[in-house]
Amino acid sequence: MTTFGMRPPALEPEATRELLPHDAVVDLAGERAASGTEDVLTALDADLVGLAPVKTRIREIAALLLVDRVRARFGVATGRPNLHMCFTGGPGTGKTTVATRMAELLHRLGHVRKGHLVSVTRDDLVGQYVGHTAPKTREVLKRAMGGVLFIDEAYSLYRAENERDYGVEAIEILLQVMENQREDLVVILAGYRDRMDAFFSSNPGMGSRIAHHIAFPDYSTAELEEIGRLMLASEGYTLSREAEEAFREYIGLRREQPRFANARSVRNAIERARLRHAGRLVEGSDRVGLSELTTLLPSDFRASRVFQGGAT
Amino acid sequence: MRITQGAFSYLPDLTDAEITLQIAYALDNGWPCSIEYTDDPHPRNSYWEMWGLPMFDLKDPAGVLLELNECRKAFPSHYVRLNAYDARYGRQTTAMQFLVQRPAKEPGFRLTREESADRQVRYTLHAYAVDRPEGERY
């Protein structure tokens, strides 16, 4: 049994800051350090390889919010910026990962109150029968308030071929909330580029309500290699020098094949290499040391069907 | 006559900002909120109509306030109250409950005395509002 008081603890008096005089000077670097956004941005730079245009835009957004905050201290009123975003890009280019970081960043900058990420797909928003969609969508929106709503594969909300589809209803509710409750949540749509373009051309209201259309470029082979190395390092694996070569070759070959999904393909390749590595160890010698347990050999990669022109 | 039931009822009506603070307090404690409305002001009427389902998994008061405003829009002159339920084992009870809307004019109650056996007198409360049928009371 927990104890509880009869009345809530006294609310802290609201910090009412005096407006700064017109000739005051604010230390922008200090403000920046105090907001703690630098940590998130640095982590973003360190953990995510490539994605230069994405990082630039995120830095700009962070700068805008920071400047807005300083302006408010001088009493210069600014409307709340429209921060709804659309992430377009091929599979495995890091859209979901960036969205998670974005929630954290917006929270640190004080744009959203809680900074949690609610990730949903069509199934969570669109109902099965008449009158089912609105409560479902509203439920999701309520849960996302104070944070970021991430709609994965947003183009699937609108299905042009089926006119009795309820996706349109979900879009309407979404639009209304995006417009009227900007201070309560930020919506991030994500999807593949061509399909998102089709989605926006059939929902013009949606496209114009989203201020930031951020395109995620595909990774180059070198970047994919770098990503692979980061993944391996985080799981405590190293590559032998010959294995590095094999890995590079693998990525080069895999890129050319159908259903290539950038970082996701790299992750899958590593998963399979780990499987072969484990199999090799169990089949082979009885006694293994740390170096055997952590080092991947070229054979772990070269056994892949990719080298024979297969798909995986 | 001003109905006083639930918490804060002797205070002036809470503003939306104050309601938001109360909801935030409830959510910070992990109490899901729900909204109820009625037009039967009798103090023993504990079965109010539910507005939607209790709102689980919310992190931010804005979601509750959104539903609250929906309810106010649908029933502009009913009593609307907000419940916060503490589901923790050992407590499992309404942790907080307060009125967030009341009709502009509350006609009040009549005290009915009834003489029963052995010159006993029983008292009944009768709300003037319930003379009219449900839905037309305020």
pLDDT digits (tens, 9 = 90+) for A149-191: 999 999 998 887 777 788 888 999 999 999 888 888 899 999 9
Alpha-carbon span A216 to A221, nearest angstrom: 16
Interface of B with A in 87-106 (CB under 8 A): 88, 90-91, 95
A189 φψ region: left (φ > 0), alpha (ψ -120 to 50), beta (else): beta
CATH, residue B43: 3.30.190.10
**pLDDT attached to residue A1:** 41
A160 and A38 belong to one structural domain: yes
B14 interface with A at CB cutoff 8 Å: no
Residue A128 lies in a domain: yes
Query: Quick check: B90 and A113 CB within 8 A?
Result: no
Nearest residue to A213 via CA among A238, A231, A227, A193: A193
Q: What domain range includes position B37?
A: 16-106
A32 interface with B at CB cutoff 8 Å: no
CA A206 vs CA A34, A158, B15, B61: distances in Å: 35, 11, 34, 26
Those residues of chain A that have pLDDT short of 70 are: 1-17, 309-312
Per the CB < 8 A criterion, the answer to whether A129 and A174 are in contact is no
CATH, residue A135: 3.40.50.300
CA angle, A16 then A19 then A21, to 5°: 155
Alpha helices in chain B, H assignment, sequence order: 16-28, 61-74
**pLDDT attached to residue A311:** 52
Tokens of A21: 């005089």
SS3 A157: helix
Domain end (from A188, A216, A244): A216
Tens of pLDDT, residues A89-115: 988 888 988 998 889 888 888 888 888
Residue B120 lies in a domain: no
A262 and A205 belong to one structural domain: no
Alpha helices in A20-116, H assignment, sequence order: 28-35, 37-47, 52-73, 95-108
Report how many Cβ contacts below 8 Å link chain A to chain B. Answer: 48
A283 and A181 belong to one structural domain: no
SS3 A135: helix
Nearest CA in chain A to B7: A7
Alpha-carbon span A185 to A116, nearest angstrom: 10
Alpha-carbon span A142 to A116, nearest angstrom: 12
pTM for the whole structure: 0.81
Q: How many domains does chain B have?
A: 1
Q: How many domains does chain A have?
A: 2
Domain end (from A216, A232, A265): A216
Task: List chain B residues with CB under 8 Å of A138.
Answer: 66
Alpha-carbon span A230 to A40, nearest angstrom: 18
SS3 B22: helix
Query: Quick check: B91 and A1 CB within 8 A?
Result: yes
Residue A234: count of CB within 10 angstroms of its CB: 9
Output the tens digit of pLDDT for each of chain B's 138 residues: 899 989 999 999 999 999 999 999 999 999 999 999 999 999 889 899 999 899 998 989 999 999 999 999 999 999 999 999 999 999 999 999 999 999 999 999 999 999 999 999 999 999 999 999 988 888
A302-307: Cβ within 8 A, 24+ apart: A302/A246, A303/A276, A304/A250, A304/A269, A304/A272, A304/A273, A306/A250, A306/A253, A306/A254, A306/A257, A307/A249, A307/A250, A307/A253
Residue A249 lies in a domain: yes
Tokens 């245009």, residue located:
A53
Q: What domain range includes position A293?
A: 221-308
Residue A5 lies in a domain: no
DSSP strand E in chain A: where?
85-89, 117-120, 148-151, 186-191, 212-216, 238-239, 295-296
A80 interface with B at CB cutoff 8 Å: no
Burial class (CB in 10 A: 0-12, 13-18, 19+), A114: middle
What is the four-CA torsion angle of A126, A130, A136, A137, rounded to 10 degrees?
Answer: 60
Domain end (from A156, A189, A216): A216
Query: Quick check: B63 and A135 CB within 8 A?
Result: no
Task: List chain B residues with CB under 8 Å of A141.
Answer: 63, 66
Q: Which amino acid is at A114?
A: K
CATH, residue A279: 1.10.8.60
Residue A1 lies in a domain: no
Alpha-carbon span B113 to A48, nearest angstrom: 78
Residue A7 lies in a domain: no
Nearest residue to A19 via CA among A91, A71, A65: A71
